[in-house]
């Protein structure tokens, strides 16, 4: 029922799907923990479909941060996808607008990384089907694990400290992103400013930390060259 | 903690973040042929956004500056965070990081 290249995309995504399961579970659990209704929690995964930004939004909502801070933080986390969009755009040009929009919606760290590698090889793969296989598999697992997390989350006692899973997810993503010295500098400066500014109003510690971290990363990168 | 925002505010967040995220994903696909891509200086800055933002989200959750350095370090969340960071570094496995991090939090909580 599915073309071979679609299935090839699903197979390519399999190893990463395993890593997605705990992430999706935490996204669901954290959302209901923060006071979102099950429908809102699932709606967040369906509409936004970007884990780190979802968790950040939910985390900030639970702290009653201002809505502007919630929205801006989530969007800033997703800005990196502009790079993916630019890089993958040439391969979406032959698609009808409707399909290029579907493929854009499915653009994630993993679907980008897997597809751009495959697209670079002139292997005769039907790129659209391959991409939809990768993206569709990730999307399906993300939605299902969110639902499972929502169901689990409503039953977990707060005293178990499962809320700590949220920073642990961020920590895991952070460690895998810090692959060179400038990124390490960005993380150290961003984290330090955020700790110092933890009590500042309007979550300025988070905003200031993020900004200071980016600037520090750019400066460190300039020195390394 | 639980949010005090009502359904309208939460749905507004879902919608605004969702639309903005789609706009980011679709941006250069839509603009292809009209502009060359991300300007190099912006791309340079964007590379550091994940590390900076993730660190700014994580650090306050595991580092709670106490009156002394010892008090800051001998904190259950800090110790659990260090254990989890080591696990994340060596295994690159999110499940292991979460599981061992939570176990460490419980274990340290029972001791400290």
How many CB atoms neighbour CB A163 within 10 A? 18
Distance from CA of B74 to the nearest CA of A (A): 16
Asked if the C-beta of A116 comes within 8 angstroms of chain B's C-beta atoms, the answer is no
Distance CA(A45)–CA(A148), nearest Å, equals 12
Which pTM value belongs to this model? 0.85
Instruction: Using DSSP, state whether A3 is helix, strand or coil.
Output: coil
Note the pLDDT tens digit of each residue in A13-34. Answer: 988 888 889 899 999 999 999 9
Interface contact flag, A171 B101, Cβ < 8 Å: yes
Domain assignment present for residue A166? The answer is no
Q: What angle do CA A154, A156, A159 make, to 5 degrees?
A: 130
- The pLDDT tens digits for A165-193 are 889 988 998 998 899 999 999 999 999 99
> What ipTM was assigned to the predicted interfaces of this complex?
0.88
- State the Cα–Cα distance between residues A225 and A72, nearest whole angstrom: 32
- pLDDT of res. A103: 97
- If one counts the domains in chain B, the total is 2
Question: If 0-12 CB within 10 Å is exposed, 13-18 middle and 19+ buried, where does residue B72 land?
Answer: middle
Contact call for residues B28 and A89 (beta carbons, < 8 A): yes
Q: Which of A53, A102, A59, A93 is nearest to B21 (CA)?
A: A53
B55 and B109 assigned to the same domain: yes
Within a 13 Å sphere around the CA of B6, how many CA atoms are in the beta-carbon half? 1
**Residues A102 and A205 placed together within one structural domain of the fold:** no
3-class SS of residue A199: coil
Q: Would the CB atoms of B57 and A194 count as touching at under 8 Å?
A: yes
Cβ neighbours of residue A98 under 8 Å, at least 6 residues apart? none
Range of the domain at B79: 47-112
* One domain, residues A148 and A182: no
Domain membership of residue A69 (yes or no) is yes
Rounded to the nearest 5°, which phi and psi values hold at A66?
Answer: -65, 150
């Amino acid at each position: 029922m599915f073309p071979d290249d679609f299935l090839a995309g699903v197979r390519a995504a399999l190893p990463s799907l395993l890593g997605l399961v705990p992430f999706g579970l935490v996204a669901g659990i954290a959302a209901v923990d923060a006071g979102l209704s099950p429908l809102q929690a699932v709606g967040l995964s369906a509409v936004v479909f970007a884990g780190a930004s979802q968790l950040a939004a939910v985390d900030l909502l639970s702290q009653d941060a201002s809505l502007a801070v919630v929205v801006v933080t989530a969007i800033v986390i997703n800005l990196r996808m502009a790079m993916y969009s630019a890089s993958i755009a040439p391969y979406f040009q032959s698609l009808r607008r409707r399909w290029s929009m579907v493929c854009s919606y499915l653009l994630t760290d993993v679907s980008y990384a897997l597809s751009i590698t495959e697209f670079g090889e002139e292997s005769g793969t039907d790129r659209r089907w391959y991409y939809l296989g990768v993206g569709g598999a990730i999307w399906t697992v993300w939605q299902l694990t969110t639902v499972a997390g929502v169901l689990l989350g409503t039953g977990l006692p707060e005293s178990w400290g499962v809320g700590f899973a949220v920073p642990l997810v961020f920590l895991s993503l952070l460690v895998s992103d810090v692959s060179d010295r400038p990124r390490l500098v960005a993380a150290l400066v961003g984290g330090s400013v955020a700790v110092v500014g933890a009590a500042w109003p309007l979550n300025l510690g988070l905003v200031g930390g993020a900004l200071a971290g980016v600037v520090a990363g750019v400066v460190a990168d300039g020195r390394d060259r | 903690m639980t949010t005090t925002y009502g359904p309208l505010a939460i749905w507004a967040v879902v919608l605004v973040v969702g639309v903005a995220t789609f706009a980011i994903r679709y941006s250069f696909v839509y603009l292809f042929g009209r502009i060359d891509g991300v300007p190099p200086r912006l791309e340079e800055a964007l590379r550091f956004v994940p590390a900076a933002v993730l660190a700014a989200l994580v650090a306050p959750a595991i580092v709670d500056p106490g009156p002394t350095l010892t008090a800051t370090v001998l904190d259950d969340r800090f110790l659990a965070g260090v254990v989890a960071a080591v696990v994340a570094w060596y295994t690159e496995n999110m499940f292991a990081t979460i599981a061992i991090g939570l176990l460490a939090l419980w274990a340290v909580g029972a001791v400290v």
